[in-house]
């Protein structure tokens, strides 16, 4: 890459990403170049005939090196768009994924709650999104990671819901009092044996505790189900993200805990993605 051309920098970046086995080299090259230049990605096309400044070239080289190590784009850029809002992302939290928006859609389809509980809040993307959509609601997010809670609190502040959000260090429902109209969670649900088959961006860079709860991948649901009845208000709902093949397994856990009204929602790809429970 030379300072004489943004177009050359874009082409060379895409070529190096492609050679490294990155899945979407053209898209990632554009995003990295935009970050290096300090412009919006949709402005890159307008800058193609411009010179590549020396400082921007150095920044791009550093960003490219990180991506070639399969570091996730959200961690490199420091943010991820989720339900139309930008959320801070670090290596301490799970990268919010588009399929998790199925849970948001399901939540918003119901009656606005007064109190929301987000178990394993991570970046806070789910809780913050719901509070932003429901100005009259308050919410609590729990996580075992103090650093994750710091990220969640920063995201709550960035989106103007800090006054209605509380973040607590807790193992699922541990130490919580009172009842909630809506309980949501995207818990770890990948079986341990499947971790080795994950994409390197996930396997090597995202927090292991947010990926797998144990051998079966169902351990989190068992822990949550044990205390869910005491946490849900009368007429309340609970929504959990699940793996594509876990619908029946999670439903069985919830039935054993005394819940009889259970539904499974599919994502845009037609895969089971969210399980919905009504208070018993």
Domain ranges of the chain: 6-69, 91-278
What's phi and psi for 238, nearest 5 deg? -130, 140
Q: Are 243 and 219 in contact (CB under 8 A)?
A: no
Please report the pLDDT score of residue 2 as a whole number: 43
Please report the pLDDT score of residue 4 as a whole number: 60
- State how far the Cα of 120 lies from the Cα of 101, in Å rounded to an integer: 16
Tokens representing residue 44 in the block: 């890159």
Q: Specify the CATH class of 91-278 in words.
A: alpha beta
Q: Are 119 and 142 in contact (CB under 8 A)?
A: yes
- State how far the Cα of 104 lies from the Cα of 239, in Å rounded to an integer: 9
Please report the pLDDT score of residue 3 as a whole number: 43
Q: What is the mean pLDDT of residues 127-141?
A: 98
Residue 130 CB coordination number (10 Å):
24
Which residue has tokens 């007064």? 114
pLDDT in tens, 237-260: 999 999 999 999 999 999 999 999
Q: With a threshold of 0.85, does the pTM exceed it?
A: yes
Alpha-helical runs (H) found in 69-100: 73-77
Please report the pLDDT score of residue 280 as a whole number: 75
Please report the pLDDT score of residue 220 as a whole number: 98
């Amino acid at each position: 890459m030379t300072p004489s051309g943004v177009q050359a920098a874009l082409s060379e970046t895409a070529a190096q990403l492609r050679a490294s086995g990155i899945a979407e080299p053209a898209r990632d090259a554009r995003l990295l170049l935009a970050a290096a230049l300090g412009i919006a990605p949709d402005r890159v096309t307008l800058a193609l005939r411009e010179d590549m400044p020396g400082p921007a070239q150095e920044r791009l080289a550093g960003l490219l090196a990180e991506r070639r190590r399969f570091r996730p784009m959200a961690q490199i850029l420091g943010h991820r768009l989720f339900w139309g809002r930008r959320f801070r992302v670090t290596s301490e939290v799970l990268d919010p994924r588009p399929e998790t928006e199925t849970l948001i859609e399901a939540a918003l389809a119901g009656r606005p709650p007064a109190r929301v509980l987000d178990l394993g809040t991570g970046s806070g993307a789910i809780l913050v999104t719901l509070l932003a959509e429901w100005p009259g609601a308050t919410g609590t997010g729990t996580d075992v990671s103090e650093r994750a809670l710091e990220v969640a609190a920063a995201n709550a502040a960035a989106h103007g819901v800090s006054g209605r959000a509380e973040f607590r260090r807790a193992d699922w429902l541990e130490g919580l009092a009172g009842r909630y109209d809506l309980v949501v969670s995207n818990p770890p649900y990948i079986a341990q044996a499947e971790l080795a088959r994950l994409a390197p961006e996930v396997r090597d860079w995202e927090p292991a505790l947010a990926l797998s709860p144990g051998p079966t991948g169902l351990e989190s649901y068992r822990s949550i189900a044990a205390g869910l009845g005491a946490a849900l208000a009368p007429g309340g709902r609970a929504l959990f993200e699940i793996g594509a093949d876990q619908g029946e397994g999670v439903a069985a856990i919830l039935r054993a805990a005394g819940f009889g009204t259970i539904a499974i929602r599919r994502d845009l790809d037609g895969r089971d993605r969210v399980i919905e429970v009504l208070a018993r």
